[in-house]
Amino acid sequence: MPEGPSILIMKESIVKFAGEKIISANGNAKIDMEKIPGLTLEEIKTYGKQTYLVCGEFTIRIHLLMFGSYSVDEQTKPDQRLRLHLQFKSGDLYFYTCSVKLLDREVLKEIDWNADVLSDDWKPLKARKKLKAIPDALVCDVLLDQNIFSGVGNIIKNEVLFRIGVHPESKVGNLPPAKLSALIKEARDYSFDFLKWKKEYVLKKHWLVHTKRICPKCGGTLTKKHLGITNRRSFYCEKDQKLY
C-alpha cells in the first residue's frame, strides 16, 4: 500500500477528524495510550511515507511500512490485530500493522519539508545539491533515500528510471546535467501520476516496467535484479536505459 502518494490518499480520508477531540485511544501499539484521550487532533501532516497526527504537545507518527493499513469509522480487522484506534465524536480511526510512535511535537521542527516530493514545499534545487554531494552513489539508491526524495518508493524508482532512460546502476556524478534535472523532475511528476492513477484504481495498469517482463519501448526482455546498497528489486531495459 504505502509509497508517498498512497499516504496522501490516506490523509484525505482521515482529515475529516482534524479539529476534533480524541475521546479514547487503544490498540497494541507500544505507546503511552493514557496520554492521548482529551487531546485535540489539530492537524494531520504527511512527510513522505510518514503521517503525523499533531495534537497538543505531542504528535503521533504513523508509518505503514510494507503491509500497513487503516480504516475509517469501521473496524475491519480482528481486535487482536488492531494497532491503534482513535475514537472521535464523529467517528473512529483504525490503524493496523504499522509503526506507531508518540513523539514530542518538537520533532516536526527537525524535518526537512523541502525533501517531500509531493509537497508544495518541495525544492528541486536542494535535492540537486544533496545529490552533488554523493557522486558515487547509484541512482537506484538515491531515489529511495528518504532524506532526498521523501515519499519515493520502489515502484516509483523503477518507473522514473525507465521514463528518463537511465540505468539503475548509473552513478549520480556521471549523469549529464540534463539527466540529473530529469531525474529530480520525474521523481515528483511520476509521484503525482501515481497519485492520480491510484485514486482511479488504475495504477498497476500504467506500470511500464515494474513487475513487467517485456520492454514497452523495444519489445526486448526486461532485466529483473536486486541492485545497490538498498538491494531492492529493479526492473529495467538494458537497451533503452543508458548506463552512465
CA distance 223 to 219: 12
**Which among 37-45, 58-66, 120-128, 236-244 is the span making contact with DNA, rule CB under 7 A?**
58-66
Task: State yes or no: residue 81 binds DNA (CB under 7 A).
Answer: yes
CA distance 25 to 37: 6
Q: 114: how many CB neighbours lie within 10 A of its CB?
A: 14
Task: State yes or no: residue 26 binds DNA (CB under 7 A).
Answer: no
List the one residue from 71, 87, 154, 181 that touches DNA (CB under 7 A): 154
State the Rg of the chain over Cα. Answer: 20
List the one residue from 14, 17, 48, 183 that touches DNA (CB under 7 A): 48
Residue with cell 520492454: 215
CA distance 193 to 209: 15
List the one residue from 105, 199, 212, 232 that touches DNA (CB under 7 A): 232
List the one residue from 69, 71, 87, 181 that touches DNA (CB under 7 A): 69
Kindly identify the residues of this chain, within the stretch 124-153, that bind DNA according to CB under 7 A.
Answer: 144, 146, 153
Q: What are phi and psi of 61, to 5 degrees?
A: -100, 125
Task: State yes or no: residue 70 binds DNA (CB under 7 A).
Answer: no
- C-beta separation of 208 from 190 below 8 A: no
Return residues touching DNA (CB under 7 A). Answer: 1-3, 6, 48-49, 63, 65-67, 69, 77, 81, 96-97, 99, 144, 146, 153-155, 210-211, 226, 232-233
